[in-house]
Structure 1
């Protein structure tokens, strides 16, 4: 299971005198695993797996550096990937997306104006970001927006009235999602841990879960079946204080569609647990 590392430090090791730094569990294992997870999504499964096989065959029995992996990935995918390696291998931290939106009738449907604001004080990240919009008929529509600025707006057209969009529903990006103006928490208790009922519920093609954390801390958000077995991990790792929205794509950890029935959303914040019931329909 992937674990989000949201702390400081680069995957690139600038100083080789410290064995502890070379074999850092966070910077040499947890974050690199998530970076490869993101790279796979950007390249696509076929190109990513071909690149790994090519890299292994080309450098087997010898040494290689990061630039060699980048070159193989670019050659196989046909994509320029210098920007990705620069921000994720040589850069620090992660993007913090503050999400806001409005919608209005347009062109026989609706235009949803989505704004992504990277609120972090460190580097701005260039990333393709998946967006899922469910409309009032229950149908879902998937988009990919190319985000690269501190604040950027996108207009997404859907045929019916939209519900609030879910950003990165598949949890591909090492990021934090923050909704500081979410009206659902206008009356939240300051400093309280809160878990809102999933929306939509019942869920047919996934749902979104909104929760608030009182301070920075380790969070585990999971979906359990009626017997208490974990069928999907929605979020796992260190998150800042604030309101967070996490999307579930309607599939189990094995990529399967779960059977209809009652499920439970479990939020664990440093040992404190909250649950919400969710009804899943076909």
Structure 2
């Protein structure tokens, strides 16, 4: 997900998407609870809210579930917001169930306890009373957002089109549907939305049917046959124009859709920076390095107001209209279909598994086109991370503190961690790691230790030293150096002078320049101060650390005058203009 701050390997297909269709939940519940959701079937009536008649809507949720423990299950607890979402009644097998909301959650007492292996089903009838229609304060807007065409918002902004949409990450699905709102419990889903005639409702999965109800309304029926987390479920409705394309990946034809405001439809076809053909080419590129696109459809809705750059709802990304044709934002959200949607974080402590992977993916799709653009992008990531780290808060990537779950360390530092891992193990092994990570955890959940186990297995080594310092600890190395030459020996002393951070053990290249020619030497630096003797017969004009910019680090005192031109000249990090930073 992105927010706007003031913002080749051949893969085996034997375990890919097809075998998961129409199956029960395949997730591994990381957060242990008494039951596992198999499927959500949700019906929402948005006719009145989109026609301006009401700020409330009615819904019906059917939840299919099964016990996950070896003890009888006599009740289930669901998440729902106590202020905005009211469950009017609940039934199972035609029997009305007792409900209790005193704990802040909704507890349903089952009429017949379930044993291991049994499957249960409950139907809940509910209504949302106040979804936070503007001009209510933004603090009231949770989960469901509604804006009316012509409304004047902050800063004399005029809403261009009437729109209603859901936005749940990390835990706001409970504001618009009763559910078990935890990313570790993935389930199948079916969502239908009734809207006024002329509106289009987009949601997860494939469009099964659109029914004209004969009362100036239509109902859109969607179903997702692959396991999905609640924060990735969504519905978006506006008077969209639908621009259609097809991505042919292997032997599979995948529908691609741009849901845009009518005035943007030509851009979806012809925008020179990014259009529907660009999206299709990105899908093919990511499929070539990550394995085939994991779902049966990919779409994007371009809307405003939307206070984020984009959100990777499964198969149907929600894009801020200002960035719906921005190549980097589009690539970021598309990459999430593999990393975040197909393989989903197990807990919010593991948010970097979503965001770092998607951020590095947007850089790699630039590398696929132009190496210089890739290098500039990585330098940009470093500069923005350094800025946050020095002016706000220093924290580890794993389990970020409150308020920083979507901090820049999760995006930009994490992307650099993947880049350094790639440099250390090499391209072949790096993409083999991602291949194994996919095949081991596709359509399931993974936590950080799972990814580390994959890395250890593929590399046949213990990589804990790398993850301990870069993921579980905080900061980055700050290197200084001195050098001298005696005969054919260049002596280099490297010091790590960072504070509030560990001393890093990192393979490093030391570059010795002579007459404009660079000679790199590989060393392992792991101490606060460490000396290296390099055999060098020419006269050393200067020495630079990390001449090919492979480490996320700073080098005070290392100036441009110490290096000469040519590909791979060390980067001097500078603060750049703000870009729509990821969230």
Q: So what's the TM-score if we normalise by structure 1?
A: 0.62
Specify which structure has the bigger relative contact order, considering alpha-carbon pairs within 8 angstroms and separated by 6 or more residues. Answer: 1
**Deviation of the 1:77 alpha carbon:** 1.7
Tell me the residue number matched to 1:142.
520
Do the aligned residues in 1 keep the contact of 2:548 with 2:569 (CA within 8 Å)? no
Tell me the residue number matched to 1:21.
404
Match 2:549 to one of 171, 188, 195: 171
Tell me the residue number matched to 2:537.
159
**Deviation of the 1:197 alpha carbon:** 6.5
State the SS of the aligned residue for 1:22.
coil
What is the RMSD of the two structures over their aligned residues, measured on CA atoms?
A: 2.4
The answer as to 2:512 corresponding to 1:133 is yes
Q: Deviations over 1:91-118 (max 9, x none)?
A: 111111011111110xxxx111011111
Q: Measure the CA separation in 1 of the matches of 2:506 and 2:572.
A: 19
**Deviation of the 1:22 alpha carbon:** 2.1
Q: Deviations over 1:212-242 (max 9, x none)?
A: xxxxxxxxxxxxxxxxxxxxxx34456xxxx
Q: Measure the CA separation in 1 of the matches of 2:545 and 2:432.
A: 29
Tell me the residue number matched to 1:93.
475
Do the aligned residues in 2 keep the contact of 1:13 with 1:21 (CA within 8 Å)? no
Aligned pairs for 1:9-48 (under 5 A) are 9-13=395-399, 18=402, 20-24=403-407, 26-48=408-430
Q: Deviations over 1:49-79 (max 9, x none)?
A: 1101110111001111111111111221223
Q: So what's the TM-score if we normalise by structure 2?
A: 0.31
Q: Measure the CA separation in 2 of the matches of 1:124 and 1:160.
A: 33
The answer as to 2:452 corresponding to 1:70 is yes
State the SS of the aligned residue for 1:113.
strand
Change (3 A) 1:143 1:197: closer
Q: Measure the CA separation in 1 of the matches of 2:481 and 2:412.
A: 26
Aligned pairs for 1:111-122 (under 5 A) are 111-122=489-500
Q: Which one has the bigger helix percentage?
A: 2
Q: Measure the CA separation in 2 of the matches of 1:63 and 1:70.
A: 14
Q: Measure the CA separation in 1 of the matches of 2:467 and 2:473.
A: 8
Change (3 A) 1:237 1:69: farther
Q: Deviations over 1:170-225 (max 9, x none)?
A: 1111111022xx8xxxxxxxxxxxxx764565x467656xxxxxxxxxxxxxxxxx
Q: Measure the CA separation in 1 of the matches of 2:514 and 2:458.
A: 37
Match 1:60 to one of 442, 456, 459: 442
Tell me the residue number matched to 2:342.
none
Do the aligned residues in 1 keep the contact of 2:480 with 2:495 (CA within 8 Å)? yes
